Amino acid sequence: MGPTDLHVERLRAREPELQLRSLPDGSQLISIPTVALPTGWNKPSTAVHLITPQGYPFAQPDCFWADPDLRLSSGALPQNAALTTPIPHLPGQAALWFSWHLQVWNAARDDLLTWLTVIRQRLARPV
Amino acid sequence: MTKIAFPLDALARMHELAASHADESCAVGFVQPASPSGLFGQRRYVVQALEPVPHEAYQRRTPERVSLTSEFILAVSNRARAAGAGIALLHTHPGANGLDGFSPVDDAGEMPLADYFGGRLREQAHFAGVVTHSNLHLRELGCGPSVIPMGVGPTVHIYGVQPSIAHSDLRYDRQVRAFGQAGQARLRDVRVAIVGAGGTGSFIAHELAHLGIGHLLLIDHDTVDTSNLNRLLGTTPADVGLPKVAVAQRAVLAINPQMQCEVVASDVVDVTVAARLLGADFIFGCTDSMASRAVINQIAYQYLIPAIDMGVAIHVREGRIASVTGRVQMLSPGLGCLVCADGLDGQQVRWELMSAAQRRADPYFENASIPQPAVMPLNGVVTSAAVAMFLSALTGYPGDARLLHYDGVRSAIRPQLLAPRPGCIVCSGEGALARGDAWGLPVRMGPGHG
Ligand SMILES: [Zn+2]
Ligand SMILES: [Zn+2]
């Protein structure tokens, strides 16, 4: 047990479908199977994968992953996204990497809901 | 001997009840083991959520005896099981002349409870205590062996320690005149860890050796560099290339050959190294690493091992010194933690906890190894303030402030108050406070870092 577990349970209360995987370095991979997308994408929803790093929440989360076939409706790759950076420790699992960062993070105030909100805000803009 | 640490404010409430309430009062807390490896041959436990028993849970309550309803006992047992915790059951002996110790009534009443909790919570350790207006006696539940209780907060109270300093020892005469035989004995008995043996850590080590600290653990993964010689107290040019902890150990043993000094030339954010800290009674955080600070911060509250964290900085802008600042902050239950102080940089902690391979793979990693200005007197001011704070917490030496800011431009040291944030993930009861081994630490798990 620890802060990560508390925050994961808080997120699970909002996202009951979430799946959790412990990675070898002690970080946790959280996958939310269905996140709805607005028009402007090539599909109505995607999975989202995010990581609580070692030392979370004092260490802040960074970057996230989505379905490997997620594209803009034009067929183009979204900005700041690439297929070249796999989910850590899972090189075989294809996923679309979003280079996306938190502007502010404070372990006293922020949790995985904060991070998911930032991710949703990115996905709300199909660019 | 087994030590058991309580948040000081919870014990203060019980002393107050013993002083003010004519009938006996009870309190129940949850016990977690707090030293996985039994370092120094000590066993340690921490007590979480120690609360006076609510009025309706008393079956009988008189000045001489007290009993609790079976419903309440069952509820406590269920809560303990859910938390994987043992039980600490305290009761007061009221008044100024209350019996200072366990009574035959206590012995008789305790055995059925020991059977009950021992049967239902077989894996856990349970304790019974008697609280007077000023004292606390604790033993394993079922009239078992005594254990040493400690109250940990802005000050550290160790109950029942007998001062035993040889009167012929003139070495500490001037200190004994300041904080008494008991204070000096405490310094001899306390096990202190210093994380970081650099500019501030070397000062702290020297001062502690002169003060007569009996047990010291030094942790630092670094070696002495030529550019360190201006501020590592006790170094000579011949020390370049040696581990910083080895140089500091040589210095403290020269000052005080009686001292037991262990060194670990490794990084405290590694899981096995962090575990070494759990055998300490007090920690000095003398590191400029954010990840080390996160580890020390959490240990202070999770394991009730108080720490003093310090930081120094000289900012130079356009060739001129713009600021000279120092910070000394005690981390202990009842005091706001580094998270409450907004003192941890989340991006920096993340980078520092990565392995070398992970850093190479991170396209945004910024190598923050540009040397910062550093001069010895700033370290001296800040570390002496830190050691004085330590003496205040442990011996009754004056100085109430637990957070100090030094402004070298204005030549001023100012105390500051920092209230703990309610619900803080580290320093509150909803967070890491007194979780002991039941929670993990924010450490690097695997080997192979760089
Ligand atoms: Zn009694
Ligand atoms: Zn806090």
What value does the mean pLDDT take over residues B121-147?
96
User: Best residue in B339, B433, B441 to probe A by mutation, most A CBs within 10 Å?
Assistant: B339
Of A13, A98, A112, give the one whose Cα is nearest residue A57. A112
In chain A, which residue's Cα lies nearest the Cα of B340?
A: A108
Q: Calculate mean pLDDT across residues B44-59.
A: 96
- As a whole number, mean pLDDT of residues B113-135 equals 96
What value does the mean pLDDT of chain B take?
93
Q: CA-to-CA distance for B287 and B268, rounded, in angstroms?
A: 10
Residue in this structure with the two tokens 């800011």, named with its chain if needed:
B405
pTM: predicted TM-score of the whole model, two decimal places = 0.95
pLDDT at A1: 87
pLDDT at B448 over 90: no
Taking the Cβ of residue B350 and every Cβ of chain A, the question of whether any pair is shorter than 8 Å is answered with yes
- Which helix (H) or strand (E) segment holds residue B15: the answer is helix B8-20
- Check if the beta carbon of residue B148 is closer than 8 Å to that of residue B136: no
| Cα distance between residue B143 and residue B108, in whole Å | 9
Grade residue B232 by pLDDT with cuts at 50, 70 and 90.
Answer: very high
**CA contacts within 13 A on the Cβ side of B156:** 29
pLDDT digit string, tens, across residues B262-281: 999 999 999 999 999 999 99
Q: Which of A2, A3, A107 sits opposite B344 (nearest CB)?
A: A107
Local structure of A19: helix, strand or coil: strand
Summarize pLDDT for A24-53 with one digit per residue, the tens. 888 999 999 999 999 999 999 999 999 999
Determine which of B347, B359, B427, B433 to mutate to test the interface with A (most A C-beta atoms within 10 Å).
Answer: B347
Strand B191-195, strand B86-92: pairing: unpaired
- Cβ-defined contact of A2 to B440 (cutoff 8 Å): yes
Q: What is the percentage of chain B residues whose pLDDT exceeds 70?
A: 95
CA B98 to centroid of ligand 1, rounded, Å: 9
d(CA B277, CA B296): 9
pLDDT value of position B357: 79
- Convert the pLDDT of each residue in B277-305 to its tens digit: 999 999 999 999 999 999 999 999 999 99
Note the maximum CA span of chain B.
76
Per residue in B242-265, pLDDT (tens digit) is 999 999 999 999 999 999 999 999
Q: What is the pLDDT of residue B1?
A: 82
Report the C-alpha gap between B106 and B129 in whole angstroms: 10
And the tokens for B428? 């509150």
User: From B358, which residue of chain A is nearest by alpha-carbon distance?
Assistant: A88
Q: Which pLDDT score is estimated for B179?
A: 87
Whole-number pLDDT of residue B449: 42
Sign (positive or negative) of CA dihedral B437, B443, B449, B450: negative
* Average pLDDT, integer, range B53-73: 96
What is residue A92's predicted lDDT score, i.e. its pLDDT?
87
Contact between B110 and B143 under an 8 Å Cβ cutoff? The reply is yes
Whether the upstream peptide bond of residue A57 has omega within 30° of 0, thus cis, is yes
Burial class for B237, CB neighbours closer than 10 Å (0-12, 13-18, 19+): exposed
Q: What is the mean pLDDT of residues B351-359?
A: 85
One DSSP character per residue, B67-135 reads EE-HHHHHHHHHHHHHHT-EEEEEEE--STT--SS--HHHHHHHHHHHHHHHHHSTTS--EEEEE-SS-
> Mean pLDDT across chain A, nearest whole number?
95
For the record, the structure tokens of B339 come out as 């998270």
- Rounded CA gap, B190 and B323, in Å? 36
Residues 6+ apart with CB under 8 A from A121: none
Tens of pLDDT, residue by residue over B356-394, are 877 877 767 776 568 899 999 999 999 999 999 999 999
Q: Both tokens of residue B368?
A: 């923050």
The mean per-residue pLDDT over the stretch A2-28 comes to 95
Amino acid B160: pLDDT: 83
Rounded CA Rg of chain B: 23
Q: Summarize pLDDT for B166-216 with one digit per residue, the tens.
A: 555 789 999 999 988 889 999 999 999 999 999 999 999 999 999 999 999
> Across residues B334-362, what is the average pLDDT?
90
Mutate: best of B297, B340, B353, B354, partner A, most A CBs <10 A: B353
For residue B40, what pLDDT is reported? 55
**Contact between residue A21 and residue A31 where contact means Cβ atoms under 8 Å apart:** yes
- Produce one character per residue of B168-195: b if its CB has 16 or more CB atoms within 10 Å, e if not: eeeebeebbeebeebbbbbbbebbbbbb
Whether the per-residue pLDDT at B315 is higher than 50: the answer is: yes
DSSP string across B380-422: HHHHHHHHHHHHHHHH--S---SEEEEETTTTEEEE---PPPT
Q: How far away is chain A from the Cα of B347, in angstroms, using its nearest Cα?
A: 6
* B355 confidence band (pLDDT: 50, 70, 90): confident
Of A25, A58, A60, the CB nearest to B446: A25
Element holding A50 (H helix, E strand): strand A45-52
Check CB contact of B427 with chain A, cutoff 8 Å. no
* pLDDT band at B447; cut points 50, 70, 90: low
Split at pLDDT 50, 70, 90, the class of B446 is low
Residue B431 forms contact with A (CB below 8 Å) = yes
Alpha helices in B138-289 (DSSP H): 173-189, 199-211, 244-255, 271-276
Report the pLDDT value the prediction gives residue B371, as an integer from 0 to 100. Answer: 87
How does pLDDT run across B379-434, given as a tens digit for each residue? Answer: 999 999 999 999 999 998 999 999 999 999 999 999 999 999 999 999 999 999 99
